[in-house]
Structure 1
Amino acid sequence: MITIRDEIAADIPAREALLDRCLGERRTAKSSERLREGRLPAEGLSLAATHDGALLATVRLWHVEAGGVPALLLGPLAVAPASQGEGLGQAMMREALRRAACLGHGAVILVGDAPYYARFGFDAALTQSLAMPGPVERERFLAIELREGALSGARGILTATGATAPTVEAAARAA
């Protein structure tokens, strides 16, 4: 049985290996990564799908804003190649969006395959007044409002607003 649960620290090496396998080594060069660098994901919105202790899928959401309007940035979403086509990515998306809505978040933004994400309600029209902090294909820059009008007034370049990740030096001092 596959379980979708909160990500735990022990998942990190397997998550990074899965992301490299699914998205390639250039994944860290993407514009979305600029918004994740040095940040922690939104609390309660880092998910892992496992089966018999093996990580099969991952998705995380991050705090961002544009023009003072808060939102979440989704990504990356990855499913182990052997588990693709079985609906696990869809289950991860639905759970991530459900949890984001339950936690009171108003909107989710992502860069991804428009036909795939349209099934969840994502639309490029909602990002017309927004920009990434780097190059992005406009047709892949998508959003969904979890609360009607949540992106009203959002304008300009997305900026990261989430908690900063502890530095190596800070972690060493705390130990």
Structure 2
Amino acid sequence: MYSLKRETDEDWWEVEALYDLCFAPGRTALSSYRLRDGIDPVGALSRVARDEGGVLAGAIRYWPVHVGDAQALLLGPIAVHPTRQGEGLGALLIEESLAAAEGWDRVILVGDAPYYGRFGFAKLEDVLMPPPTNPDRVLGRALVPGAWDGVTGQVRQWSP
């Protein structure tokens, strides 16, 4: 059994270590990280999952971005400790955090369509992540019906 809670400042470095374990320290060189530079994650949606002993088992973060003239959430990274994979924890993190995304209309991510399709994500046409992202891996989910209709353009860093 896991408890899911909002990520706090005290969780930050432990979560970073989990991301390094799952994605390697070079993960921050990916182009999607340029969208996160100097921007705080959306604290109301970023979650940590801990087991009964308080050990970190998984984490998910979201970041505000712009897609063309629209606002969106960038999902990621999401990670589950290698010893906890296959238990449904990733699905739990995604579903629980998206259920709390009030006030947001759309979510974007870079990932595998077969995995994320079961959560309602589909390939976005005419939405461009910073290169060298494979366009087939740019996926979106409307949190409000029709939220992606007519949304096109470059994904860029958030600016209020």
TM-score bucket of the superposed structures, by smaller chain: over 0.9
Task: Give the secondary-structure state (helix, strand or coil) at the position aligned to 2:132.
Answer: coil
Offset at residue 153 of structure 1 (A)? 2.9
Structure 1: how far apart are the matches of 2:138 and 2:148? 14
1:146 is aligned to 2:143: yes
Whichever residue aligns with residue 85 of structure 2, its letter is Q
Deviates more, 1:107-116 or 1:24-33: 24-33
| Corresponding residue for residue 131 of structure 1 | 128
In structure 1, the residue corresponding to 2:77 is in which secondary structure?
coil
Answer yes or no: is the 8 Å Cα contact 2:22–2:79 preserved in 1. Answer: yes
Deviation string for 1:1-27 (max 9, x for gaps)? 310110011111111110000011221
d(CA) in 2 for partners of 1:2 and 1:114?
A: 26
> Could you list the runs of 5+ residues in structure 2 that have no partner in the other structure?
none
Aligned to 2:67: 66
Structure 1, unaligned runs of 5 or more? 164-175
Name the one with the larger helix percent: 1
Q: Normalised by the size of structure 1, how large is the TM-score? A: 0.86
Flag as ranges the 4+ runs of structure 1 deviating above 4 A: none
2:45 equivalent in structure 1: 45
| Alignment-derived partner of residue 120 in structure 1 | 119
Q: Deviations over 1:29-50 (max 9, x none)?
A: 2121111111001240111001
Give the letter for the 1:111 counterpart.
V
Q: TM-score, normalised by structure 2?
A: 0.94
CA deviations over 1:116-151 (Å, ceiling 9, x no partner): 101001000xx2111112211122110000111212
Which residue in 1 is equivalent to 2:30? 30
Counterpart Cα distance in 2 of 1:152 and 1:161: 20
What is the alpha-carbon distance in structure 2 between the residues aligned to residue 152 and residue 65 of structure 1?
15
Instruction: Give the CA deviation at 1:162.
Output: 5.7
User: What does the per-residue CA deviation read over 1:35-82, in whole Å, with 9 as the maximum and x for residues that have no partner?
Assistant: 111100124011100122211101011111122111100000000011
Identical aligned residues as a percent? 44
Higher Cα Rg, which structure: 1
Query: Is the aligned partner of 1:109 residue 2:108?
Result: yes
Contact 2:75 / 2:109 at 8 angstroms: preserved in 1? yes
Equivalence for 1:4: 4
Amino acid paired to 1:138: P
Aligned pair count reads 159
Cross-structure match for 1:88? 89
CA distance in structure 2 between the aligned counterparts of 1:8 and 1:141, rounded to whole angstroms: 29
What letter matches 1:160 in structure 2? Q
Partner of 2:153: 156
What is the RMSD computed on CA atoms of the aligned residues? 1.3
Using the TM superposition, give the Cα deviation of residue 84 of structure 1 relative to its aligned residue in structure 2, in angstroms. 0.3
Q: Distance in 2 between matches of 1:136 and 1:111?
A: 8
